[in-house]
């Protein structure tokens, strides 16, 4: 277990974001990706957040994302995925989450057009 303080870890994150810019944040609107957006804004770096909208994402979650974007004021793009692109996930096998995330991140990486893509997974994920 790391003995670094929370402040030291946060400062390291800010430094790392400065080295990565410009970048794209995979933005779900959850705690982790919202934290990354807030840190990127504090770092003053160039970034864009991207949310993927699919038939598996409830409308209320997309509305929550839109509200966060308005309240936090950052550059944001929404990309849609059609159900046929999620065929392997829709088959509902044990690997469904892998297939869904693969399609989502392939879309984001393609959109990023060579920029680094970051996301908010943490050690517990």
pLDDT category, 57, cuts 50, 70, 90?
confident
In a domain, 101, yes or no: yes
Q: What is the mean pLDDT of residues 78-91?
A: 81
For residue 1, is pLDDT > 60? Answer: no
What are the tens digits of pLDDT across the range 16-55? Answer: 999 999 999 999 999 999 999 999 999 999 999 999 998 8
pLDDT of residue 10: 95
Q: Specify the CATH number for the domain of residue 43.
A: 3.40.50.620
* pLDDT of 54: 86
Q: Whole-angstrom Cα distance, residue 34 to residue 117?
A: 15
Q: What is the pLDDT of residues 94-124, one digit of tens each?
A: 888 888 888 899 999 999 999 999 998 876 6
Model confidence at 93: pLDDT above 60: yes
**Cβ atoms within 10 A of the Cβ of 87, count?**
10
User: Domains in the chain: how many in total?
Assistant: 1
Q: Do the beta carbons of residue 108 and residue 17 sit within 8 Å?
A: no
The DSSP bridge pattern shows strands 116-118 and 47-53 to be unpaired
The answer to the question of residue 57 being in a domain is: yes
Residue 83 has pLDDT above 80, yes or no: no
* Structural domain boundaries, residue 67: 21-118
């Amino acid at each position: 277990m790391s003995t670094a303080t929370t402040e030291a870890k946060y400062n390291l994150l800010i430094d790392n974001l400065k080295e990565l810019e410009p970048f794209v944040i995979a933005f779900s609107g959850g705690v982790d990706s919202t934290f990354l957006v807030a840190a990127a804004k504090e770092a003053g770096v160039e970034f864009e957040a991207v949310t993927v909208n699919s038939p598996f994402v409830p409308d209320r979650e997309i509305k929550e994302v839109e509200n966060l974007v308005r309240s936090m004021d950052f550059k944001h793009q929404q990309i849609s995925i059609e159900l046929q692109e999620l065929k392997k996930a829709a088959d509902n096998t044990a690997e469904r989450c892998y297939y869904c995330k693969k399609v989502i991140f392939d879309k984001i990486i393609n959109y990023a057009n060579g920029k680094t893509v970051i996301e908010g997974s943490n050690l517990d994920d």
